[in-house]
Structure 1
Amino acid sequence: MAFPPYAADPDAVDSAAHLIQVALTPVFMLSGIGTLINVFNTRLARVSDHLEDVSRRLAGTVSDTATTDPYYTPEKLLSHEKRLHRRIFVLDLAILMNAIGGASTCGAAIALFVGSLRDTTTSTWLLALFGIALGCTVAALMFFLADTMLSWHGLKRDGAMPRPLTTK
């Protein structure tokens, strides 16, 4: 069975190809945002578990061994608890920014499709929503960097990181 002759308007094909390319951008953006939210939520869960452990130690509910660990002094635990609260706050902001970025990406996709269905120009909305999505994703990554810096600072301050070797 032979295909019927195909005589398509090259402009219509180019327009459809461009629409498909533009429509795929939000899909990839949403996929990346979803992955980042998953990473941030996993990290938040670990920090929350750590905070719970520190709170139990401060309350004295963890069974103490005969030897006392200098790391678990009340002063260090209180300092660590404060740092963990800061980290939770920063990770909450990262997740919030990423969620706003995801919602803006969905809004950009909706603006794209509404514009193509009605043959109207929605480029201002499309660019604004996609710009918000990118800005929020960058902000989320900056908050994640802040959490990482808080974590590194805590490890360094508590002496858990090895000191660099010096040569004489």
Structure 2
Amino acid sequence: MTTLPGLSMDDVTGGIAHVIQTALTPVFFLSGIGALLNLFNARLARVSDHLAHAADLLRNCPDGGDETRLHRQLRRLARRTWLLDAAIALGAVGGASTCGAALSLFLQSYGSSAVGGWTIALFASALGCTVSALVVFLGDSVLAWHGLRREGPLPRSLEASKTDPRH
């Protein structure tokens, strides 16, 4: 194998190793974002199930006492759904930005210096979106904790809510 004039084999190998290391960093970040998106989607599915259950309880609610409480829980669950949707969207944009940053790094390694600014912008976007998704997820968690502490969990049925001493 021949090398370029003025470059030793160690320089070429070191350059290739540096490109691989640099390109793998966004891949690990993307893996973390994927885990977060999985968590957000699982949480959204659970909240959606609670929302459907609360709506069923409200339809079968015979008296006004439980109806007010169920309406409060439905509003809280709807806000949580909105927050989780936002966290998923931010996480997806962060993941797409991470992929763009990885592509930009590869293009940059082939000598295209015009993409250097794109690499920084895309990686900054990925970090910003991921941090924002985590902050929004924290908002969902606070709503969930507040709702559980204040109103308790949704009853399995209306009869169960009448025997619960918190209501």
After TM superposition, the structure 1 = structure 2 runs for residues 70-85 of structure 1, keeping only pairs within 5 Å, are 73-85=66-78
Match in the other structure for 1:166: none
How many residues are aligned here?
A: 147
Match in the other structure for 2:133: 140
Matched residues, percent identical? Answer: 51
Match in the other structure for 1:149: 142
Alignment partners' CA distance in 1, 2:24 and 2:102? 9
**Bigger helix fraction:** 2
Match in the other structure for 1:20: 20
The CA deviation at 1:8 is: 4.3
Match in the other structure for 2:121: 128
Matched, 1:58 2:58: yes
Alignment partners' CA distance in 2, 1:120 and 1:40? 37
Secondary structure at 2:112's aligned position in 1? coil
The CA deviation at 1:11 is: 2.4
Runs of 4+ residues over 4 Å off in structure 1: none
After TM superposition, the structure 1 = structure 2 runs for residues 2-41 of structure 1, keeping only pairs within 5 Å, are 8-41=8-41
Match in the other structure for 2:99: 106
Alignment partners' CA distance in 2, 1:47 and 1:108? 33
Could you say what the CA RMSD is over the residues aligned between the two structures, in angstroms?
A: 2.2
The one-character-per-residue Cα deviations of 1:109-152 (angstroms, maximum 9, x if unpaired) are 111112223x1212211111011001100001111100000000
The one-character-per-residue Cα deviations of 1:3-26 (angstroms, maximum 9, x if unpaired) are x9xx94332222212111111011
Alignment partners' CA distance in 2, 1:139 and 1:51? 25
Match in the other structure for 1:45: 45
Amino acid paired to 2:89: L
Q: Which blocks of at least 5 consecutive residues in structure 2 are unaligned?
A: 2-6, 154-167
Is the Cα contact below 8 Å between 2:19 and 2:106 reproduced in 1?
Answer: no
